[in-house]
């Protein structure tokens, strides 16, 4: 199955940061996206409000650099939350669990607009490890190596099979 959401919008409220018992950061906020369209010559705008959740280091980064009104692009997955409210009623809503974010304006942040922050989905009590870069090993070519010739040979017409396809059979 494929579960991918990409949204661009403005935060509707400041980040609410808390920590799990294992010490992992969890940040919640809302995102407003809009769509402009025309109906019978009349311009309209439709706004969609979505709750989003950041985990681990990205929750701390979001809390540090983002404020209400910040414009961001988020990539993530759709999640269905269910709970029982104080009155005993079953409640549910869809949220987006952020996997990658990109800050699109720098007026309220110290980061450049093109900074992208991938999200590490760490489990509690696990530390983030910086990926290590391993230098590729290069070996000398054997002495018998010859450069390919600049002139490429085209196959002869007799070796190319003829295919009879009707235009109605082409799907595009």
Superfamily assignment of 5-118 in CATH? Nucleic acid-binding proteins (2.40.50.140)
pTM, entire model = 0.60
Task: Give the strand pairing for 16-19 and 42-55.
Answer: unpaired
Contact call for residues 29 and 14 (beta carbons, < 8 A): yes
Structure tokens at 78: 């759709």
Contact call for residues 32 and 52 (beta carbons, < 8 A): no
Q: Tell me the H-state helices in 54-147.
A: 57-65
* CA-based nearest residue to 10, from 29, 36, 31: 31
Taking the domains of the chain in order of start, what are their residue ranges? 5-118
What does the pLDDT profile of the chain (172 residues) look like in tens digits? 899 999 999 999 999 999 999 999 999 999 999 999 999 999 999 999 999 999 999 999 999 999 999 999 999 999 999 999 999 999 999 999 999 999 998 654 444 444 455 554 443 333 333 344 444 444 444 444 444 555 555 555 556 666 666 666 655 4
């Amino acid at each position: 199955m494929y579960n991918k959401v990409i949204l661009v919008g403005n935060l509707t409220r400041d980040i609410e940061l808390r920590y799990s018992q294992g010490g992992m950061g969890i940040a919640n906020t809302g995102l407003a996206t809009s769509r402009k369209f025309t109906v019978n010559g009349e311009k309209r705008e439709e706004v969609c409000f979505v709750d989003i959740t950041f985990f681990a280091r990205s929750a701390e980064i979001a809390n540090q650099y983002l404020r209400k009104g910040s414009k961001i692009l988020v990539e993530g997955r759709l999640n269905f939350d269910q709970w029982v409210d104080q009155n005993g009623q079953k409640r549910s809503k869809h949220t987006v669990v952020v996997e990658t974010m990109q800050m699109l304006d720098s007026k309220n942040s110290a980061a450049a607009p093109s900074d992208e922050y991938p999200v590490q989905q760490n489990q509690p009590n696990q530390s983030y490890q910086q990926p290590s870069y391993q230098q590729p090993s290069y070996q000398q070519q054997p002495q018998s190596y010859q450069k390919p010739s600049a002139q490429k040979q085209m196959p002869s017409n007799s070796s190319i099979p003829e295919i009879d396809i009707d235009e109605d059979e082409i799907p595009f």
